[in-house]
Amino acid sequence: MSAASPAHDTHHDDHAHAHPTGLKRWLFTTNHKDIGTLYLWFALAMFFTGGVMALLIRAELFQPGLQFVNPEFFNSLTTVHGLVMVFGAIMPAWVGFANWLIPMQIGAADMAFPRMNNWSFWLVVPAAILLVASFFVPGGAAASGWTLYPPLIIQQGISIDMTILAVHILGASSIMGSINIITTILNLRAPGMTLMKMPLFVWTWLITAYLLIAVMPVLAGAVTMLLTDRHFGTSFFNAAGGGDPTMFMHIFWFFGHPEVYIMILPAFGVVSAIIPAFARKPLFGYASMVYATASIAILSFIVWGHHMFTVGMPAAGNLFFMYATMLIAVPTGVKVFNWIATMWQGSMTFETPMLFSIGFICLFTIGGFSGLVLAVTPVDITIHNTYYVVAHFHYVLVSGALFSLFAGAYFWLPKFTGKMYNESLGKLHFWLSVIGFNIAFFPQHFLGLAGMPRRIPDYALQFAEWNMWSSIGAFIFGFSQLLFLYNVIECIRSSRKAADNPWEGADTLEWTHLPSPAPYHSFETAPVVK
């Protein structure tokens, strides 16, 4: 349903121009679908960039001893892998989905601030270049871990300044994007689209965007303090000048814990869209999903101390952070049970998006449970900074955020491109990913419990066996992602026309009211939601 511009819509001059073509189209575009596409391709490029770093890490760890890289470069790899995956791959990918889907799902013509939207995206690119280019300056890329802890970060070379600048730019971009998303959701909903009728993806992004504008400025403040400590003689974190490195950890993790929910909440939204579509039942407990998401977001502000049980806090502080962290399992459990209840007695089919969503539920829950284990202070004291932690956060970020990104990509590719992807190839991608992922990361639980520290290029001989398996799994996982790239390109170039609603159970506006592919300008006349 593509409506013609109503006569009174004369202010909206963007639409009057012919589309610029080629590079200019992408440089100057203010169209939410174009910008969404840019974000998604950018995220995929950064995903492969960070993936190459991950495979270098796993190649080095295939055997004990130093084979391929020196320890300094190894530290840079772990650091920039983390930064690139968090700020370059997962977050931009979610912003890409938000750009594509939020206006269509609430019946809006575009985002509230289209020009700011363009600027949000084009800020991300120089930031990514700064991050990756820092490998080529004297001293090598940041090697302090993605958490940027002083005093190490204060002592390293110019690459740290590049990293700090990149974080500043990414923060500005995220804040602009979030303001755009919140304003769009609050002000541009179609008539009848009340807040409690919004698809859960919109809800989760609304809450995520609030988290972003609350914590990105805090991170900006923290890295600004690092910068002035390095160059302008302040001593926020420099113990020699009366500062305290521990304070950085508090400020960083005040940002850092909400940040991990920023990466996972939109995943909840995507899974909440896909499970009902393929179970052919409405989502079980819609309202409780909304409240659970909000509860998780609020709790995320009072649990940062669980990242620092061993740095020296009073016992009361450790206990508070332990109990508050465990409390998060309650709303998260509500969500998991709601998804299972949605599938219960549904007429389920298992196309690729559904497979990735079910994979998400199973594996994300494992990551949630290992998170509960780590939340227990005395347990954490023995396994902090071990591979158990690495296993935990890869279960929530790879099989959590990334799997649901794949689920969303396969689910909405027909709407984005108007073509059907190759289902068998998609299933192959899923099975290789889920097998490779588990071979790579499940043994890391064992390594961590056995005491193998994280962020080391070499290790004691007793860890050799599981590291070998982990590396084999990582290479299976890494190379099977090329299947996804191939599948997307093949889908775009194929001639398999997708139906307007190729999924029987999908019932949000982009499926019910718009053709496939979604037209360049959609909902210029708002639909009426009953």
As a whole number of Å, the end-to-end CA separation of the chain is 17
- How far apart (Å, rounded) are the C-alpha atoms in residues 185 and 349? 32
Q: Is 204 a catalytic residue?
A: no
Q: Return the residue matching tokens 């280019």.
A: 133
Binding residue (CB under 8 A) for other proteins from 69, 165, 179, 376: 179
CB-nearer residue toward other proteins: 185 or 355: 185
Binding residue (CB under 8 A) for other proteins from 57, 188, 375, 402: 188
Judge residue 24's burial from the number of C-beta atoms within 10 Å of its C-beta, 0-12 exposed, 13-18 middle, 19 or more buried.
exposed
DSSP 450-504: TTPBSS-S---GGGHHHHHHHHHHHHHHHHHHHHHHHHHHHHHH---BPPSS-ST
CB-nearer residue toward other proteins: 56 or 214: 214
Annotated active-site residue in 307, 384, 419, 513: 307
CB-nearer residue toward other proteins: 373 or 526: 526
CB-nearer residue toward other proteins: 258 or 436: 258
Q: Is 8 a catalytic residue?
A: no
Token pair recorded at residue 405:
């990104």
Annotated active-site residue in 76, 120, 144, 173: 173
DSSP-assigned letter for residue 156: S
Token pair recorded at residue 345:
């007695």
Annotated active-site residue in 259, 351, 380, 510: 259
Smallest gap from Cβ 308 to other proteins, in A, equals 12
Binding residue (CB under 8 A) for other proteins from 59, 69, 133, 247: 247
Q: Is 307 a catalytic residue?
A: yes
Token pair recorded at residue 323:
């109990």
Asked if 217 interacts with other proteins (CB under 8 A), we say: yes
Asked if 142 interacts with other proteins (CB under 8 A), we say: no
Q: Is 332 a catalytic residue?
A: yes
Judge contact between 293 and 338, C-beta under 8 A.
Answer: no
Binding residue (CB under 8 A) for other proteins from 30, 147, 183, 288: 183
Chain-centre distance of CA 127, in angstroms?
17
CB-nearer residue toward other proteins: 254 or 309: 254
**HSE on the CB side for 56, CA within 13 Å?**
19
Asked if 521 interacts with other proteins (CB under 8 A), we say: no
Binding residue (CB under 8 A) for other proteins from 3, 125, 133, 175: 175
Annotated active-site residue in 134, 174, 377, 433: 174
Nearest to 98 by CA among 111, 81, 83, 82: 111
- How far apart (Å, rounded) are the C-alpha atoms in residues 330 and 424? 37
Binding residue (CB under 8 A) for other proteins from 1, 27, 239, 319: 239
Asked if 221 interacts with other proteins (CB under 8 A), we say: yes
- How far apart (Å, rounded) are the C-alpha atoms in residues 217 and 84? 19
Binding mask 95-124 for other proteins (x = CB under 8 A): --------------x--xx-----------
Q: Is 32 a catalytic residue?
A: no
Other beta carbons less than 10 A from residue 256's beta carbon: 20
Annotated active-site residue in 159, 272, 417, 522: 272
Please report, for residues 134, 338, 351, 481, the alpha-carbon distance to residue 285 in angstroms, rounded to integers and kept in the order given.
47, 6, 24, 34
Asked if 244 interacts with other proteins (CB under 8 A), we say: yes
Asked if 12 interacts with other proteins (CB under 8 A), we say: yes
Size of the site for other proteins (CB under 8 A): 38
Token pair recorded at residue 475:
């290479």
Judge contact between 100 and 33, C-beta under 8 A.
Answer: yes
Asked if 11 interacts with other proteins (CB under 8 A), we say: yes
- How far apart (Å, rounded) are the C-alpha atoms in residues 287 and 39? 30
Nearest to 203 by CA among 98, 285, 353, 338: 98
Q: Is 259 a catalytic residue?
A: yes
Helical H segments across 141-244, by residue range: 152-155, 158-187, 200-231
Which span sits near other proteins by CB under 8 A: 211-219, 273-281, 331-339, 468-476?
211-219
Chain-centre distance of CA 18, in angstroms?
35
Its sign, for the CA torsion 391, 397, 400, 402, is negative
Asked if 261 interacts with other proteins (CB under 8 A), we say: no
Smallest gap from Cβ 219 to other proteins, in A, equals 8
Q: Is 431 a catalytic residue?
A: no
Q: Is 454 a catalytic residue?
A: yes
Smallest gap from Cβ 310 to other proteins, in A, equals 12
Judge contact between 79 and 144, C-beta under 8 A.
Answer: yes
Which span sits near other proteins by CB under 8 A: 197-205, 239-247, 361-369, 493-501?
239-247
Asked if 208 interacts with other proteins (CB under 8 A), we say: no
Binding residue (CB under 8 A) for other proteins from 87, 94, 205, 254: 254
Asked if 152 interacts with other proteins (CB under 8 A), we say: no
Smallest gap from Cβ 317 to other proteins, in A, equals 8
Smallest gap from Cβ 36 to other proteins, in A, equals 19
- How far apart (Å, rounded) are the C-alpha atoms in residues 505 and 500? 13
* Near other proteins in 278-317, by CB under 8 A: 312-314
CB-nearer residue toward other proteins: 214 or 329: 214
Token pair recorded at residue 225:
């303090």
- Residues 491-530 as b/e (b if ≥16 CB within 10 A, e otherwise) read beeeeeebebbbbebbebbbbebbebbbeebbbbebbebe
Annotated active-site residue in 32, 33, 58, 81: 81
- How far apart (Å, rounded) are the C-alpha atoms in residues 362 and 410? 19
Asked if 182 interacts with other proteins (CB under 8 A), we say: yes
CB-nearer residue toward other proteins: 311 or 482: 311
How many angstroms separate the most distant Cα atoms in the chain? 75
Residues lying near other proteins in the complex (CB under 8 A): 8, 11-12, 109, 112-113, 175, 178-179, 182-183, 186-188, 213-222, 225, 236, 239, 242, 244-247, 250-251, 254, 312-314
Show which residues are catalytic.
Answer: 81, 110, 146, 173-174, 257, 259, 261, 272, 306-307, 332, 335, 454
